[in-house]
């Protein structure tokens, strides 16, 4: 399995995806085709945390008046399944590895994974 979960409207996602040869990868636009329970379970199996997969920058947090500090793992799971913006992105998922989000360390790990030298 080689999947990338992303948003087409996200400039950061597009910039990151453009750096890699994604031939053979399934590209999933999460707004058009939200993640499934099975896919979330596969992500959780690698991260051991729904909170790790959760975007604390989602506009839905303010709209729903959520207090992220008081959320439990089940809450993160339910929210991730409820609305696509709660997923930290992009997510690169393989049988053996997962890369979550756009922070510098994650992007560097992706470059190493793909063998991309700057």
Boundaries of every domain in the chain:
2-114
Alpha carbons 8 and 62: distance in angstroms, whole number: 23
Helices 73-82 and 37-47: angle between axes, nearest 10 degrees: 140
Q: Rounded to whole angstroms, what are the CA distances from 75 to 27, 59, 62, 63? A: 27, 17, 16, 16
Pick the CATH number of 2-114 from 3.40.30.10, 1.10.240.10, 3.40.50.2300, 3.90.470.20: 3.40.30.10
For the entire predicted model, the pTM comes to 0.94
13 has a pLDDT exceeding 70: yes
Asked whether 112 and 15 are in contact (CB, 8 A), the reply is: no
Average pLDDT, the chain: 96
**β pairing state of 2-6 and 26-29:** parallel
**Confidence tier at 37 by pLDDT (50, 70, 90):** very high
């Amino acid at each position: 399995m080689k999947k990338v979960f992303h948003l087409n409207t996200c400039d950061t996602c597009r910039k990151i995806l453009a750096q890699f040869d994604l031939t053979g990868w399934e590209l999933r636009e999460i707004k058009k085709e939200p993640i499934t329970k099975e896919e979330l379970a596969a992500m959780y199996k690698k991260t051991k945390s729904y909170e790790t997969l959760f975007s604390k920058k989602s506009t839905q947090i303010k709209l729903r008046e959520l207090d992220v500090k008081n959320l439990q793992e089940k809450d993160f799971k339910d929210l991730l399944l409820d609305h696509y913006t709660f997923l930290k992105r992009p997510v690169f998922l393989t049988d053996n590895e997962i890369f979550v989000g756009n922070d510098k360390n994650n992007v560097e790990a992706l470059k190493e994974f793909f063998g991309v030298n700057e």
